[in-house]
Amino acid sequence: MSSNQGSSPIPQSSGGTSDGLFRKPRDPSMAPRHYRTLRSLPDVCPKEPTGEGRGLCDGPSVVADQHRWTVYNSKVNLPAALNDPRLAKRESDFFTKTWGLDFTETDVMPSFYLPNISREHFSSYLQETAQREKIHERCKNICLNKDDLSVPTITNNHGTMFMKPEFVLNDPATFNAVLPWSHFSVAGGKNSRDVASSRLLQEKLSHYLDVVEVSIARQISLRSEAFFHAMSSQHELQDRLRETADAVAKLRARTAAIDRVMCRGPLRALRDALTRSNCIKLHNKLKLMAAVHQTQPTVQLLLSTSEFVGALELIATTKEVLQQELQGIHSFRHLASQLCEMERLIDKMMVADFSTYTQSDLNRAFEEDSQVLEKDRLQSLVFGLLRQRKLDFLDIYSEEMIQAAKNIVRQVHHMTETRDGAEKLHEQMRLMTFHQWFDLLLDIFEHFILFLKRIKATLSVIRNVVLEVLDSSQRSRLEEESGGSTLHSGEAELAYLTHEGLFISDALNEAEQRSNATAHAQLRAQMHTETCGSDSASATTESSSSREHNANTTSSLPIGGAAVISEDVMPSDLELSRVANNVQELLYTASDVSHDRCVKVLMTRAKDGSLERLSSSEFVCLSQAVESFARDTEELCGRRSMSLRGALQSQANRFVQRFHEERKTKLSLLLDNERWKQAEVPAEFQDLVDSIADGRITLPERKPTGRSEDRKPSEFLCVDGQKYAVVGTVLLLIRMFLEYCQCVNDIPSITTDILTRLADLLKHFNSRSCQLVLGAGALQVVGLKTITTRNLALASRCLQLVLHYIPVIRAHFETRLQPRQYSILRHFDHITKDYNDHIAEISAKLVAIMDSMFEKALSKYEVKAPMPSACLRNVCKQMAKMHEAIYELLPEEQTQMLFLRINASFKLHLKRQLARLGVVNDGGPQYGLVMVDVAFYSENVQALRSLEHLDLNMPETWEQKR
């Protein structure tokens, strides 16, 4: 049992065999034998691992053992726990000192990876080994009986001693029990008896040796059958080896006969076929070398006719042939470097030719058509530059474009030299009148539009070539992918057909060589055509064009040829896409450059401030021309250039500043000379107001002087059914803010700036009129004797007229602002509040005038006959004057509200005076006299126009009785 277990692997599961162990098959006839089974030798040629068994020495597998518990999952150091599992002696050892007393005291939870093993798991094993165990016990008993018969006493006496676990010869007691020397040794030393005892001991030890030999012989006799079995197995093995050697000799003889009869002849035929194939390849190689030898003369011939693309394709094809097919040829060792030098020379020639073409295209006269100059030449140059990865050719075009833009202005300068005597352009511009300079600017705009059209046409051709190359590259890639799959299927078929008699790799190489031979035949035919066609220029042109046409046909070759050349030389799809984007960016740059040159023309004129001194109509013409040019360039180039608009905006801001300062100064002069008297309203102002009511916030066109209608001016300005009595300054103010609105219509870019300026103008009118009227500034400025109630009412009505138009102006500006700019409209809210406050202050001033009159008159009031009293007569007279002064100026509603406030002031002062005089509403004589005066006052006030139904509420005059 022990020998079997020593050679068996570790059990993995309870399935498979009944006991879960792997055992070598045993002969049933050998089962009752009593000798040990021979230990099985290790297998020197192990099979490939199947994954079914795993030794303990192997580490855990991340894939197979991720859900199985292994020793690596234990929480305790397993070797340390097994070597010294006694807790009592480990209280102060290394582990408890290092990791604490709880090193092995930790309660380890049962692992859910381990199955719960019970006795039932061993039941099948016990049932299988029960019979073997009985046989083993029977054999053991038999052996013990034989030992009892023949083993000497020493074995029986000391058998138990030797088997004890505490058997140690170092122990004196154990040593004396095994070798009793005590009765041999005497304290007196050695004598004859001791010598005899020593001899007796030697004989005894010799006897023990004999006993051991006898025991060994007995064991050999018990296992004699096993030795005979081993010897017989050895003889049988030798017989089998002899038979095997004979079989191998026969097989070798038969193989030699097969080689002699069936293989040598076919192999010779294959060798002859291979020799013939090599000769054909050598012949083809020599013809290919002859074709390559003609490359340099053909390239020079193509360069003489500026056929750069054809020369580059021929050089690339030749370099590919030298690299793949003619590599190592001694006569061609310098040809590759020569072709590289020629390729670099062609690069320089193409760059120089492209620069020359760009100069001639951009600097030609504008009288010519805007078509592309030599389109075929341009396409050929662009394709050649792309072919050589010279992707910076657009930088050359950009530099020439900038220089050409400068030349446009110089051409205009040359045209203006005949007009004036000045030498430089900026001097001529400053000497020109506005109309002359404006005509010059329009000419510059027109030239730049033609310039951009020409650039757009040229860049469109370049971009089409780039996109065509990109599309061709993508198609070639798709064809190669489909061709590659076809080749793979053909390789599989070829391998199937040639797997007998020829190596598969040789067959594939032969197929590849055949395809290369086809490609090289086409190349040789092409070179032959080029060489033969070099006698005439027309034939050369045809051959070069055919090469350009056939450049894409060779891309369909599965192996070698132009397909590889195209992949290695042509730019990648990403680079081509970047070049296409750069072409579009170059068009944007052309637009920006054109605008920048126009900005310089504009700023040259603006240096002396001449643009700021333009009239509104002139500046509007300039703004419209610039905006039209900007729109045209935007439509051409697809980009909104802002430099020219920005320059115009800065000039517009200066123009607005001057425009505003002129009108603000004019308004200040008008206010300083205003006498605040009602002015007549000319018919043109009434028409202007009517046009605003119709929604036209613009200045009407000036009518010819001879056709002016004979319409008399009116006293009032009618606005939305209301009459406004105004002064002349307000009429001009209406025209001024219409001019501001007209500027916004003509120049939308200055909307925000003009809005703030208009708000400042309206605020200035409000503040200045307040200083002159309410602040009595007109007394010193104009020389008025006093500020009358009529002046105040007229000023209030003028403010109301301006306040009426503020929402109209706000709506007009709101339609021209972006939503993010609506916050600037808050200026109108502030202006509305200021105007309302000013109007309220004027009304309060009118009430204060009457209040002071009431206080002065009623302080002398006495209740005595005759009635009505003189005091009340004077009050009524002053009320009538007030009404007469403001009735025609203010509307009825405002007049009524004003007199209600005046009446409240009268009642307050009368009430105070009556309280001072001690007159109460007791029905007495004094009360009657007062009621006569009050009735007189009420009749006179209600007799005024529009005050007939005014509720004076005179009982409030009296104190209420408590």
CA distance 453 to 486: 49
**79: preceding bond cis by omega (within 30 degrees):** no
Does position 459 have pLDDT exceeding 50, yes or no?
A: yes
Q: What percent of the chain has pLDDT over 70?
A: 72
Residue 838 pLDDT: 94
Phi/psi at 681 (nearest 5 deg)?
A: -100, 115
Lowest average pLDDT, out of 329-338, 562-571, 656-665, 690-699, goes to: 562-571
Report the pLDDT value the prediction gives residue 644, as an integer from 0 to 100: 81
Least reliable range by pLDDT among 121-125, 698-702, 835-839 = 698-702
Q: Which of 413-422, 503-512, 732-741, 914-923 has the highest mean pLDDT?
A: 732-741
In angstroms, the CA 159 to CA 171 distance is 17
Query: What was the pLDDT predicted at 299?
Result: 78
Stretch 29-33: mean pLDDT, rounded?
42
pLDDT tier, 572 (very low <50, low <70, confident <90, very high otherwise)? confident
Per-residue pLDDT at 454 exceeds 60 = yes
Q: Which pLDDT tens digit goes with each residue over 581-637?
A: 888 888 888 888 888 888 888 887 777 677 777 777 788 888 888 888 888 888 888
| pLDDT bracket for residue 9 (50, 70, 90) | very low
Rounded Cα–Cα distance for residues 601 and 425 (Å): 9
Share of the chain above pLDDT 90, in %: 17
Task: Looking at mean pLDDT, say which of 542-556, 568-582, 603-617, 636-650 comes out highest.
Answer: 636-650
CA angle 934, 938, 944 (to 5 degrees): 150
Q: Taking 70 as the threshold, does the pLDDT of residue 363 lie above it? A: yes
Greater confidence (152 vs 918) lies with 918
Task: Look at residue 52 in the predicted model and tell me its pLDDT.
Answer: 41
- The SS3 assignment for 847 reads helix
- DSSP letter at 432 equals S
**What are the domain boundaries of the chain?**
364-476+570-650, 674-699+713-844, 860-958
| Cβ count within 10 A of residue 419 | 12
Most confident among 84-88, 283-287, 299-303, 834-838 (mean pLDDT): 834-838
- The burial of 523, by beta-carbon neighbours within 10 Å (0-12 exposed, 13-18 middle, 19 or more buried), is given as buried
Which of 481-495, 752-766, 791-805 shows the lowest per-residue confidence on average (mean pLDDT)? 481-495
User: CA 467, CA 403: separation in Å to the nearest integer?
Assistant: 28
User: With 50 as the cut, is the pLDDT of residue 539 above it?
Assistant: no
Q: Specify the CATH number for 860-958; select among 2.60.40.10, 3.40.47.10, 1.20.1280.130, 3.20.20.100.
A: 1.20.1280.130
pLDDT in the model for residue 338: 75
- Residue 475's SS3 state is helix
**Range from 71-80, 377-386, 522-531, 737-746 that averages highest in pLDDT:** 737-746
> Worst-scoring range by mean pLDDT, 47-61, 498-512, 888-902, 946-960?
498-512
Q: What does the pLDDT read at residue 900?
A: 92
Residue 50 has pLDDT above 70, yes or no: no
Confidence check: pLDDT of 65 > 80 = no
Both structure tokens of 387: 């072919």
How would you class 452 by CB atoms within 10 Å of its CB: exposed for 0-12, middle for 13-18, buried for 19 or more? buried
Least confident interval from 12-16, 175-179, 770-774, 814-818: 12-16
Instruction: State mean pLDDT over 30-58.
Output: 41
pLDDT of residue 567: 46
**pLDDT (tens digit, 9 = 90+) per residue, 464-487?**
888 888 888 788 778 777 765 444
Lowest mean pLDDT among 198-212, 368-382, 618-632: 368-382
Considering the entire predicted model, what is its pTM?
A: 0.52
Number of helices (H), then strands (E), in the chain: 31, 2
Range with lowest mean pLDDT among 119-123, 165-169, 939-943: 165-169
Q: Residue written as tokens 């030795």?
A: 227
Q: State pLDDT tens for residues 840-889.
A: 999 999 999 999 999 998 888 888 888 888 898 999 999 999 999 998 89
Taking CB atoms within 8 Å and a gap of at least 24, the contacts of 552-558 are 552/472, 552/476, 554/317, 554/519, 554/522, 555/476, 555/479, 555/480, 556/479, 556/483, 557/515, 557/518, 557/519, 558/483, 558/484, 558/486, 558/487, 558/515
pLDDT tens-digit map of 808-841:
999 999 998 888 888 999 999 999 999 999 999 9
What is the rounded average pLDDT for all residues in the chain? 75
Is residue 702 over pLDDT 80?
Answer: no
Is a pLDDT exceeding 60 seen at residue 800?
Answer: yes
Kindly state the average pLDDT of the residues 269-283: 91
Comparison of pLDDT for 305 and 157, the residue scoring more: 305
Per-residue model confidence (pLDDT) at position 771 = 92
At residue 653, does pLDDT exceed 60?
Answer: yes
117 falls in which pLDDT band (50, 70, 90)? confident
Selection from 39-53, 163-177, 198-212, 599-613 with the highest mean pLDDT = 198-212
Q: Rounded to an integer, what is the distance from CA 171 to the centroid of its chain?
A: 89
